[in-house]
Chains A and B, each alone.
Chain A
Amino acid sequence: GAVVSQHPSWVICKSGTSVKIECRSLDFQATTMFWYRQFPKQSLMLMATSNEGSKATYEQGVEKDKFLINHASLTLSTLTVTSAHPEDSSFYICSANPSGPYNEQFFGPGTRLTVL
């Protein structure tokens, strides 16, 4: 149980275009999902917390107009990188919490974004 999927697993796009990444909880409902960014050989950096049916909460320094998050259902959250630039190239990972008393987060396999 507790499987989280992401799509696509990798994407290459041209500078200035927008890219959408999907995160799905496959066998549980998640009122809360999280989006992380990870640079090579570094730890996970929380970008935002996504709550079903409400606006996402962004961490300090994360541009909410650039990284659009939508949590339309209890099993799906999307991250759209708008007007992508090469510096947005990174490994994006989502996680989902099955809503237990503790913050037990299960992670997706990640999406490698390369902006040319």
Chain B
Amino acid sequence: QQQVKQSPQSLIVQKGGISIINCAYENTAFDYFPWYQQFPGKGPALLIAIRPDVSEKKEGRFTISFNKSAKQFSLHIMDSQPGDSATYFCAASTRGSEKLVFGKGTKLTVNP
């Protein structure tokens, strides 16, 4: 059973556009939602994370929007650049759990 559903599987955006990746979850005990960025042949890098006491968190061009009632959270990349082309994974975990539950990933391609 996949606990975090991520969409779309792939996304193509023009340079300067907005990239939006969505994740949905069922487990209401989740209370930590990170996003990871992974380039080919590299390990994932923590990009930004949110906790359910806020509805939005922004760091530079990256924003997480969180909708607790809908059990959804999304990553918005503003002014997308070719260097943002990578695979993005959403994840979730519960307080006290050591494990992260990952989505299946979204391959983002930003065309110049």
Contacts and interface: CB of A to CB of B under 8 A. Distances in A.
B102 interface: yes
Interface in A62-116: 91, 93, 95, 97, 101-110, 112
A116 B2 CA distance: 33
Contacts, number: 59
A106 B89 CA distance: 14
Given A97-B98, A102-B32, A102-B95, A44 B46 contact: no
B112 interface: no
**Which secondary structure dominates where chain B touches chain A?**
loop
Contacts of A6: 43
Interface string A24-58: 00000000101000000111101001000000000
B43 A112 contact: no
A43 B102 contact: yes
Contacts of A108: 43
Interface of B: 31-32, 34, 36, 41-46, 49, 51, 89, 93, 95, 97-100, 102-105, 107
